[in-house]
Chains A and B, each alone.
Chain A
Amino acid sequence: MAGSQRQKQKTETKNFLVETAMEQFGKRGLTATRTADIAAAAKLSHGTVFLHFPTREVLLEEVIGAFGMRTANRMHELLDSECTMEEVLAAHLKGIEENEAFYAVLVSETAVLPEGAHNTLIMIQSAISHHILQVAQREMNAGTMKKMPFDLLFNTWIGLVHYYLSNRAIFAPDGSVIARHGSRLLTHFMDLISEKGGLQK
């Protein structure tokens, strides 16, 4: 009994460290955050961090993995098969906004991170691109959306959103980029892809 209690406590501390680390990484950047910052924010000793994660890299990988699973699941939760393109893209922005700080540093710093970080981003993209593909096929067939290659459709959208997120310091220095610019980006993108211009319902 005491054993399982200890195990439970160990798991709880580990999860708490992952959550605290996610917050700190989002605030300070993935490469700039030190394990000492995470320990201080969690009000735990530096040694406790290493008891659960042998290296900073292991902790970072665990945090990125947890974030990826959570975000991909959230994207799926927000969407259903009857969504219009505008609803899919709005849900995508909502999913990003809920964890914007971490998502933005992940997007900005991926190039200098290990392969696992790239895979996580691709996994999140896959969750959303699955829905975009389904709707795009339907709307292209119905003639409400311009016909174009799916990868370019997706990457044009992602390119736009990620550009604003990576440069949030100049687009929204005081807060959320998505809250400030999201609806304009969405309206603009819908104008670009809609067959007759304007929003399609």
Chain B
Amino acid sequence: MKICIACGMPMKTKDDFAMGDESKDYCKYCAKPDGSMQSYDEKLDGMTEFIVKTQGLDKEAARSAARGMMEKLPAWQN
């Protein structure tokens, strides 16, 4: 099973892929409306917001955690 290079989510069904395109290496949550992959800053903002909303963390703590998670993902290795 392919794993999204930008957020680490396993892509189980066609629907999980960006634009439903299984040749893509990133998921629908990491795609912009035009189908291209979000930038580092866009993804960092999105992940931070998600962690605050679902886990209630302090915003700066959430940003630091999001940065830590992204460090380990193939899309952000440079």
Given A115-B64, A118-B65, A129 and B12 touching (CB < 8 A)? no
Nearest CB on A from B65, distance (A): 4
Given A119-B65, A119-B69, A126 and B55 touching (CB < 8 A)? yes
Given A73-B3, A77-B10, A77-B12, A151 and B55 touching (CB < 8 A)? yes
Closest residue of B by beta carbon distance from A116: B68
| Beta-carbon contact of A125 and B56 below 8 Å | no
> A115-B68, A116-B68, A151-B53 provided; 16 other pairs, C-beta below 8 A?
A72-B8, A73-B8, A77-B1, A77-B10, A81-B15, A115-B64, A119-B65, A122-B51, A123-B65, A123-B69, A126-B54, A130-B50, A130-B54, A133-B54, A151-B56, A154-B56
Closest residue of A by beta carbon distance from B50: A126
| Beta-carbon contact of A150 and B54 below 8 Å | yes
Interface of B toward A, CB cutoff 8 Å? 1, 3, 8-10, 12-13, 15, 47, 50-57, 62, 64-65, 68-69, 72
A-B contact count (CB 8 A): 64
Of A69, A77, A122, most buried by chain B (CB within 10 Å of CB) is: A122
Nearest CB on B from A41, distance (A): 26
Per-residue contact bits, chain A 130-161, to B (CB 8 Å; 1 contact, 0 not) = 10110000000000000001111011000000
CA distance A80 to B11 in the complex (A): 11
